[in-house]
Amino acid sequence: MWLPSHHRSPLALPAPCSLLHTTPSSAASPRFHPLDPHSQTLALRPAVSVVPGGRWNRFKTYSTIQRTLEIWGSVFAFIFKVWLNNQKFTYRGGMTEEKRVMRRKVLAKWLKESILRLGPTFIKIGQQFSTRVDILPKEYVDQLSELQDQVPPFPSETAVSTIEEELGASVNEIFERFDVEPLAAASLGQVHRASLNGQEVVLKVQRPGLKELFDIDLKNLRVIAEYLQKVDPKSDGAKRDWVAIYDECANVLYQEIDYTKEAFNAEKFAENFKNMDYVKVPEIYWEYTTPQVLTMEYVPGIKINRIQQIDKLGLDRKRLGRYAVESYLEQILSHGFFHADPHPGNIAVDDANGGRLIFYDFGMMGSISPNIREGLLEVFYGVYEKDPDKVLQAMVQMGVLVPTGDMTAVRRTAQFFLDSFEERLAAQRKEREMATVEPGFKKQLSKEEKFEKKKQRLAAIGEDLLAIAADQPFRFPATFTFVVRAFSVLDGIGKGLDPRFDITEIAKPYAMELLRFNEAGVEVLVKDARKRWDRQSRAFYNVFRQPDRVEKLAQIIERLEQGDLKLRVRALESERSFQRVAAVQKTIGYGVAAGSLVNLATILHLNSIRMPATIGYCLCAFFGLQILLGVLKVKKLDQQERLITGTA
């Protein structure tokens, strides 16, 4: 789809450009969009990583087995390297914090380059962790942040060929000017700048073979999801459906490689924020948009995590952080349609209107039903009122909490966390007033401090947490994964802009205002009147039920006196004891089986009966592993019991 020449200005002549003799740049500009006005100069772009992109660039000759081996090889190598870095015997002259920092830097660089080799799927995962300054060491954050700038581009000839195939004409016929050198490279595509009918535009061109790559990667991720579904201990009382979460993520990833859906999402997002001057969305050019090519308005800006450049523009970083939080609350609580991939590569700022946010890349979006939106508002209200009953009722309304099992334990736990939350907010307010919060990364807690905090928490509500873990009353919809991730990334961005950033301080007044004024006055009155009528109706009904209930209570007391009624009393201490006894008995059983198999296999081996002897040794090794796991489980149960009883 392209416009013939008579639709263009007669003064707009195509600029000559060589398509075959231009070599791809050895430098990559900021991710996906020009996030820095100075990045238009090629010499100022940051250098691309030495990693040219692993075998995932050669899709046609790349088998599922090769890809699977590469993925799992990298995963196990990283786990082993982390384990080695934490072992004292690997440090010559003793383990010191300086040596650990140096090793973390080396490992973080290795991890970044491994992610680049693994390709788009894992680059997107790494980008999500690149803002978590509060949970990752600084060395990892620094390296993962480069994933937004150093994604290697694919050959420009391939991009030009894709554009011409999708739009049905050569780039010289469609555009007055087309920059063969990519302006930016992303995990799923790269961007070229052009001039169309006198307007500056950018074209996002999809990498070739993404669907085939996703098919392989997602098969491996599904194995992980099914494994987590089986082994998740659900010790926090939440019954997560890992397979459903995987299905939701896979569906979103496949939608990302259809640029027409992204264009539709961008227009819908822009419509939702049309009355807010602090949010900008690039305009879509539908005539030049296809499933693999997306043409949009050129809107330069500065990445939201480039603090020095933001300061040079004289922008208020604290206000930008507040804008980011308020825009997401607006997306989730008002529109129910939100940007699910808000890492710094997809959010920029400029100095228009005193500072505004520019959103890019609308391939990954999430939707929330009105019922859940209303429930989230009620949760905010319950937290604001410090009322655990309101919080739990809202969670039941959203389908997050199933009112079964020991709800008394759930309520006490909710009250404990509300009190802790209020204490934390008070401490943060005091720190801000005294200006004791230093800029930079959050101080990492030592093992002793983490253990002490866990000990205090279990000593306070350990019994209730165990009851919740046994009943598993919580159900988390797959959509919540994207909501939690979005706010997690947003919190990291805010802390980067302002060390004193507190997302709760911004969210609380906004949510309360929205709760009061998001509906028309008549609707609020009707809703309140309906609630009051329901309460009065139940009270009126209970008045006439009182005699029946008194009689029923008398019958229960009489049955108790006669011994005809048995009470079911839940003794959590006994449950834990039985659980430990069961683990010990199972471990002993495995030990007996392993010992018997060793004797049998040895006898068979001495009598030259090789195959059955080999099978016996293999089974013995399996039971030996089960013994080890059983011993570890018993030790964990003992430690948990000591923490709860305060004898640790």
Reported as a single tens digit per residue, the pLDDT across 129-183 is 665 555 577 788 788 877 766 677 889 999 999 999 999 999 999 999 999 999 8
Which range is most confident: 41-45, 87-91, 412-416, 534-538?
87-91
**Sheet strand arrangement including 279-280:** 279-280, 356-359, 347-350, 302-303
Most confident of 262-271, 367-376, 379-388: 262-271
Q: Which residue has the higher pLDDT, 54 or 64?
A: 64
Give CA–CA dist 192/174, Å, rounded.
14
pLDDT class of 499 with cuts at 50, 70, 90: confident
Cβ neighbourhood burial of 321 (10 Å; 0-12, 13-18, 19+)? buried
Query: Which residues are bridge partners to 201 per DSSP?
Result: 194, 297
What residues are labeled active site? Answer: 341
Higher pLDDT, 458 or 474: 474
Q: Return d(Cα 634, Cα 617) in angstroms, integer.
A: 26
The CA distances from residue 422 to 134, 530, 549, in Å, are 20, 32, 40
Could you read off the pLDDT of 285-329 as tens digits, one per residue?
999 999 999 999 999 999 988 888 999 999 998 889 889 888 888
Six-digit token string for 140: 């990892």
The token duo for 136 is 């990752």
Looking at 498-646, list the stretches that DSSP marks H as alpha helix, in order from N- to C-terminal side: 503-517, 521-562, 572-606, 610-645
Q: Name the token pair of 425.
A: 């907010």
- Taking the C-alpha atoms of residue 428 and residue 78, their distance in angstroms, rounded to an integer, is 36
DSSP per-residue string spanning 24-89: PPSB--SSSS--SGGGGSGGGSPBPPS----GGG-GGG--HHHHHHHHHHHHHHHHHHHHHHT-GG
Q: Which of 3-7, 218-222, 225-229, 236-240 has the lowest mean pLDDT?
A: 3-7
Q: How confident is the model at residue 279 (pLDDT cuts 50, 70, 90)?
A: very high
Q: What is the mean pLDDT of residues 264-269?
A: 94
Whether pLDDT at 356 is above 50: yes
Residues 6+ apart with CB under 8 A from 169: 2
> Is the CB of residue 132 less than 8 Å from the CB of residue 492?
yes
Q: Which two tokens stand for residue 490?
A: 């947003």
Average pLDDT of the chain, as a whole number: 75
170 CB-near residues (< 8 Å, 6+ apart): 164
Higher pLDDT, 364 or 646: 364
Give the mean model confidence (pLDDT) for residues 108-123.
86
**Helices vs strands, H then E, count in the chain:** 20, 13
Please give the Cα distance from 35 to 100 (Å, whole number): 34
Dihedral (C-alpha) 99, 101, 106, 110: value to the nearest 10 degrees?
A: 140
How does residue 610 score in pLDDT terms, banded at 50, 70 and 90? confident
pLDDT in tens, 418-448: 777 777 667 766 665 665 444 444 455 555 5
Q: Tell me the pLDDT tens digit for each residue of 528-556.
A: 666 667 666 766 676 777 777 777 888 87
**Can you give the pLDDT at residue 222?**
83
Res. 128 pLDDT band, cuts 50 70 90? low
pLDDT at 184: 83
Q: Of all residues in the chain, what percent carry a pLDDT higher than 70?
A: 68
Region 244-258 average pLDDT: 77
* CB-CB contact of 473 with 402 (8 Å): yes
Q: What percent of the chain has pLDDT over 90?
A: 18
For the chain, the structural domain boundaries read 520-566, 572-645
